[in-house]
Structure 1
């Protein structure tokens, strides 16, 4: 019997219905991948299934006793306190009582009256078994319940929110882009965990390898229609192509017949004779049907503005080391980057990939060794945090900066037409970027990036929030780019399809160099390297007994260090805003009309702010380790 059934469900937010006449059911144990273009309604469908929003029409039936939990794309407001508190919040009011009891029991001076009152509430709700469930969930997901949630990395926060979703023992788990901000080790762990999870799963992801590993059924949203495709991703791709070809042929046949009827009606009076009234009515019906047809969303048309050729040797590093205080991030690196190389940087979060990028670009000075940059370098940088977008500008202003057109490889193109190549309607192009989705922001950043003449592309996690079609087109574009590419990504398929070599953070400051992409590295790596770096860490198919996986011990911090750890996230946020603001000023053409002393002072201040930010991240990793 289906756990959840959607019957004739409609939902709209103005304009054509986002979801129309949806018929869908979910069976126990299924793992359903929900796919579609950015803005097609994937997250909306998850919210409808979760009961967070109601349909405009139709019915959603949930079988009695079925529990549903949803992991959102972003950290929800109100997620604060220790990890234990955030996970227990998945149990509702009882969870808040358990968290309160947990804090009272661990307080330096126990308030016996308060503890007795909370204990009575828990006992009345028969809640002690759920207290044990929180502890078991933390153990299964290898989380420290006493760690401050605000001080965790993005990947660990996602794991805590997954624990909060799982603690209610849901029958249906809804995951919206669960791999965003996770490194390869965390993605690999999540794949293994979900393969061994017994409940039903509905998930949205841009990670094709993750999708292929998990999905037992594909559900597609296309122009408001929801279609179910049994089987794996390869079967879906083949059958979808067949369906699109059939639709195109049927549309062409319909349009030809409509054109013939339009010619007939224009012949005049004989078309309005009584015996032809039926034909006139059929023509009106055909016109109405054609007006209601929703065309397939076009593909992004991307072209990179190419700069002049750089020197043959782009970057040369000899015995380069770099560290923060006593911590060595890069140790004895020697490498040469030649024009046309496409290099992927692979490593766990916090391993030093961004530091390595800055060394290679000359933004940081090595502690020891020498770094030489080639001639005629024109760098275009894609920032995963989208710091180069001005929030007070719309899409047009962010790309054209006051101009009416952009120049791409010697051709002038009106900015509206250029943005339409990236699937922005004129209305969306003029809307404040605060209203844009994550996928739209990523496309806007790509549009801004590709409008800059370059011969060295630096891309830090460009795949987050992009739909599969745009990802494949981006792969093709980067494959044809004549310049040099430095790419940081946790998307294993994207790395395999784009890069020609990899630099891998192998721990203790060591950087390994390998030919090919991610899969090639897996074949070439020395024995034990994967485990040592934390890049590949498969979870067992089934969750182990609680006693078999003890919670990791956490270093006890002094009061001073604990206070510093609490304040570091706010300091990092402040420094990131400062760096983003100063970088945005440099993107303004008026910046370079200042005198040289002011420009030099600005660059020096920016370098100092970036160094402080790097030190703050390093200190955070040290205290939270």
Structure 2
């Protein structure tokens, strides 16, 4: 069944059209990835689907009662309240009423008039079913329902945004760079969740591992045109290369024919007297066709400037220890880094990856242990916070200290020409730095980084916001670089392609060392200890059963078996009491407000008993083996 269809959609903001008569459709259950270079209009296309942007021409056909929800790329600054309230806000006006109802129950239960109004409205609009659904979403996403949204980490905030989108029960979910700025655990969690989700998905990503795991079809936006590529990412890469090759051959033939016609029209006066007017007309048409041709966006062409070789030893650490506020960040860590090593650093956000880099480079003194650094080290550092960029200056002044020329490969090059290698047009190079997009900032930082000779590169999250073509080039450069590379990244494919060793934060200040990249670490790492941090499902939520791994199923005692057999009847009885009290409460708000307060208290106690019964049922079922 077709959920959404775009037909001949066109949109321009001056200059060439951003979308040029594009058409596509999404079927129920599809997981479609939208690819394209930075600035091609991918996020704009999502805004067209949500209605936040209007097209100049064309139509969007939606299935009847289609529900569309979006997880935006950036966290909306206006979001506030508890986690549960933010999730509920995704369900529109009814979700806002539910949030207000729960807020009053907790903070101002004496406002019986307003509580009564909300109770009546929720009864009339089937609000309690939504209430149960929100509890289920919060439980499945393993979110702390009563924690203020503002107090969460960036990764948890993005998980709340996903819950907010799911609260609307969307038929189509839109995701714009869902893995940006998440650590590996958070990326794996969202990836696994979406792989099991039954709705349709349209997402934008530069995370190649995420793309390979989820996409069942790929849409490519290129020079205003949209093409569909069934199958996986590797199939898309192969067929896209074939298409670009065929396009280049076709254009070469066209250009040759045009040159022949131009030569013919410029023949002497005698030839012009006898020329074929139809041929002249075709020449004018060919000229128009050539003028309207949109060239493929160029690829960055940067290179690393090798400095003089460093000494064989880059750094040797023995039993390094460092703690912050009494909490160990690095404990008893030892390693040796030699010239030419390419090492990745992996760990959750906030684990101390940047601290470890500073310790290894001698920029931070360990509290115990020793560090020996090598000779003739020339360091270039890519900072994920982009702090090396002066926002007040034009783009070009952030290169080479504002000088007009840079030394590249032993040759003198004008800074504007140098920036063109990083896809900055002269106009863009003169723009203030603060107007740049995330991808442009990353390219500018790379331009700044590679404008100086180095034999030691430190890259702290270099892949955020880079398009895939630039990522591929950066990988090739690092592989060919004769110096030493230390890289912090959550991009699994990037780590697999570039590094030979990984240092992994494993908790309590322990840093493990493994040969290979990310996938190699997965195979070698110790088996994780399974714990459940998820809050128990509430009364109306369907219980989630977790089955232990084979060979680890504890046997139930006779008493526990009887308890498990009795639990369904107990839960049914509690739910019946809950429903009865809910109906009674609606009447008491108007007839006996004082009794309504005590009844509400009993109802809250019932909900707690139900939650405890569901949790016990889940535990016993899991122990039995499901």
Verify same fold: TM over 0.5.
yes
C-alpha deviation, 1:281, in angstroms: 0.7
Answer whether contact 1:271 1:280 (CA < 8 A) is retained: no
Q: Give a deviation string over 1:189-238, Cα, whole Å, max 9, x none.
A: 11211111111101111111111111110110111110001111111111
After TM superposition, the score normalised by the length of structure 1 is: 0.83
Q: Give a deviation string over 1:493-527, Cα, whole Å, max 9, x none.
A: 10010001111111121111111111111222234
Mapping for residues 23-422 of structure 1, pairs under 5 Å: 23-107=23-107, 110-273=110-273, 276-422=276-422
C-alpha deviation, 1:252, in angstroms: 0.4
Distance in 2 separating the partners of 1:424 and 1:515: 38
Does 2:12 align with 1:21?
A: no
Answer whether contact 1:461 1:487 (CA < 8 A) is retained: yes
Distance in 2 separating the partners of 1:123 and 1:378: 69
- Structure with bigger RCO (C-alpha 8 Å, 6+ apart): 1
Answer whether contact 1:272 1:280 (CA < 8 A) is retained: no
C-alpha deviation, 1:125, in angstroms: 3.1
Distance in 2 separating the partners of 1:307 and 1:19: 45
Q: Which moved more, 1:206-215 or 1:301-310?
A: 301-310
Q: CA, structure 1 residues 545+373, in 2 after alignment: closer, same or farther (shift >3 Å)?
A: farther
Distance in 2 separating the partners of 1:195 and 1:50: 23
C-alpha deviation, 1:151, in angstroms: 1.8
Answer whether contact 1:88 1:99 (CA < 8 A) is retained: yes
Aligned residue number for residue 483 of structure 1: 483
Residue segments in structure 2 that go unaligned for 5+ positions in a row: 535-540, 547-626
Does 2:492 align with 1:492?
A: yes
Q: How many residues align?
A: 539
C-alpha deviation, 1:109, in angstroms: 6.0
SS at match of 1:512: strand
SS at match of 1:169: coil
Answer whether contact 1:314 1:374 (CA < 8 A) is retained: yes
Across the aligned residues of Structure 1 and Structure 2, the Cα RMSD in angstroms comes to 1.9
C-alpha deviation, 1:547, in angstroms: 5.0
Does 2:472 align with 1:472?
A: yes
C-alpha deviation, 1:111, in angstroms: 2.8
Q: Which moved more, 1:460-469 or 1:350-359?
A: 350-359
Residue segments in structure 1 that go unaligned for 5+ positions in a row: 538-543, 550-625
SS at match of 2:2: coil
Distance in 1 separating the partners of 2:39 and 2:74: 16
C-alpha deviation, 1:123, in angstroms: 3.2
Distance in 2 separating the partners of 1:479 and 1:30: 36
Distance in 2 separating the partners of 1:269 and 1:156: 77
C-alpha deviation, 1:112, in angstroms: 2.6
After TM superposition, the score normalised by the length of structure 2 is: 0.83
C-alpha deviation, 1:307, in angstroms: 2.3
SS at match of 1:213: helix
Distance in 1 separating the partners of 2:308 and 2:109: 69
Aligned residue number for residue 454 of structure 1: 454
Distance in 2 separating the partners of 1:377 and 1:446: 19
Q: Which moved more, 1:207-216 or 1:323-332?
A: 323-332
Answer whether contact 1:139 1:546 (CA < 8 A) is retained: no
Q: CA, structure 1 residues 319+253, in 2 after alignment: closer, same or farther (shift >3 Å)?
A: same
Q: CA, structure 1 residues 486+351, in 2 after alignment: closer, same or farther (shift >3 Å)?
A: same
Distance in 2 separating the partners of 1:362 and 1:126: 62
Distance in 2 separating the partners of 1:458 and 1:142: 35
SS at match of 1:332: strand
Distance in 2 separating the partners of 1:518 and 1:381: 22
